[in-house]
Structure 1
């Protein structure tokens, strides 16, 4: 078991190293000179050369990469030349909590709605309810999230005034106000994943309900709710956890549009503003942090398999 964990952790570090090198190299190919962007339109050649030396841009490519990687690991991410703020403080202390809160709320909402609908659809397979749920799940997976966000703002926020149009209140400071502000963004971001979870849960539950141990549980006289929600749910956890873990990248990608539509000061809006302002150092920090979260969640998913399925535990 420990050897398996060590192997997965080593693979994770190798992937992170590859991703860091690839992101650093690709951003070096981006158009524009960061020194010119920082200095503005009027500067001398001496000032230009001094700034390049200060940023380490006069060093060879590999030396720049090693220096940047060391600074990233130690938390020295530089300073935003637009906001004149420390990038590490801005990204980790200000933008990251907003995105993590939105992501957690969206996943919770998707599981809260998607899992029961998928189970009910599987139990009543080929019925009217199953057809309605399947059609709704397919519609949700095909509906553009940014368009849904605009519709929700127009009807629920502007027309009926049930929710705020934009803004963010930290739930750890005011839970009720925070959830009220997060309701529409979380619903917008979770729609695709509700449909995905419904379909995965339904398919896995249908397969599980045909297994011999389910027939044995019914033969023992166990009630239907226990057969479905205990024996059945226990054996669909692996595909469900895998789906949530693999779809984290899609959630982070959807957060870019969702945060922009609802003006949430998270990583998505930060990356959008950084790309438009050509702050490549800030983009690089955001890309690496996003990759770090995605790879770390996938590591947790891999490590959870032996606990979810005892057959995978090594003796």
Structure 2
């Protein structure tokens, strides 16, 4: 088991290394001159050359990459030339908790509502509930999240005044204030994943409930809730966990639009502003943080497989 885990960790580190090389290279090839932006329109060639040497941009690209990688690993991510603040403080300490709060809230909402709806739809196949659930899942997977966010702001924020329309309050500082500020963004981001979880749960549970061991459990006189929620649900955990892990990238991608719509100071809005200001150091930090979140989640999914299915445990 330790060898299995070590192999997965090694694969994760290799993927992160490849992501860092590709993202660093593409950002270097991106249009725009950050030094020109830093110095402004009026500058001398001497000042331009001095700042380029100070930032190490006159070195070969390979040398620049290894210098950046060493600093990134040690926590020296540079300084934002617009905000005049350390990038590590801006990205890791300030923006990352906002994105994690939004992502965890949306994921929790999707699981807590999506799994029961999927079970209800599977156990009442062909009923009115099943038809309503099918319409909801089709709408949820096809409705643009940014447009949904605007509608929620207009209805629940402007018209009814039930929730704030923008800004972020940390739940660990003000729990109820954080909940009210995060409700509309979490609903906006979770709708697509909620609909997908409902569809996955329904499809897999219908297949599982037709298996012989389910018939045997019913024949033993076990109550229906135990047959469904213990024997049935336990055997759909692997595909459910898999789809959750694979969809984290889409969740983080959706967080960019959601944070922009609701003015949340998270990773998505940070990257958007950094691209507009040509702050490639911040963009690189945001890309690496997002990649780490996505790859780490998939690593945890891989490590969870042997616990979900004993047949996959190494002998």
**Which category of TM-score, normalised to the shorter sequence, fits these structures?**
over 0.9
Matches within 5 A, 1:23-172: 23-172=23-172
1:174 aligns with 2:161: no
Q: 2:211 maps to which residue? A: 211
Q: Deviations over 1:229-258 (max 9, x none)?
A: 111111111111111111111111111110
What is the deviation of 1:126?
Answer: 2.1
Distance in 2 (alpha carbons) for counterparts of 1:278 and 1:167: 24
What is the deviation of 1:128?
Answer: 2.2
What is the deviation of 1:127?
Answer: 2.2
Instruction: Report if aligned partners of 2:33, 2:278 keep a CA contact under 8 Å in 1.
Output: no
What is the deviation of 1:141?
Answer: 0.4
Distance in 2 (alpha carbons) for counterparts of 1:106 and 1:287: 21
Distance in 1 (alpha carbons) for counterparts of 2:55 and 2:211: 62
Q: 1:252 maps to which residue? A: 252
Distance in 1 (alpha carbons) for counterparts of 2:313 and 2:288: 33
Partner of 2:59, secondary structure, is coil
Distance in 2 (alpha carbons) for counterparts of 1:126 and 1:305: 33
Q: Which moved more, 1:265-274 or 1:98-107?
A: 265-274
Distance in 1 (alpha carbons) for counterparts of 2:10 and 2:205: 34
Q: 1:21 maps to which residue? A: 21
Distance in 2 (alpha carbons) for counterparts of 1:147 and 1:238: 33
Partner of 2:125, secondary structure, is coil
What is the deviation of 1:43?
Answer: 1.8
Distance in 1 (alpha carbons) for counterparts of 2:176 and 2:220: 46
Runs of 4 or more above 4 Å deviation: none
Distance in 2 (alpha carbons) for counterparts of 1:292 and 1:37: 30
Partner of 2:278, secondary structure, is coil
TM-score for both structures, normalised by structure 1 = 0.98
What is the deviation of 1:2?
Answer: 1.5
What is the deviation of 1:120?
Answer: 0.7
RMSD: 0.8
Query: Unpaired runs of 5+ in structure 2?
Result: none
What is the deviation of 1:78?
Answer: 0.7
Q: Deviations over 1:5-51 (max 9, x none)?
A: 11111111111110000000000111111211111112222221121
Distance in 2 (alpha carbons) for counterparts of 1:260 and 1:300: 29
Distance in 2 (alpha carbons) for counterparts of 1:291 and 1:270: 15
Query: Unpaired runs of 5+ in structure 1?
Result: none
Distance in 1 (alpha carbons) for counterparts of 2:307 and 2:47: 59
Distance in 1 (alpha carbons) for counterparts of 2:298 and 2:191: 22
Q: 1:227 maps to which residue? A: 227
Q: 1:284 maps to which residue? A: 284
Q: Deviations over 1:197-245 (max 9, x none)?
A: 0001111101111111111111110000000011111111111111111
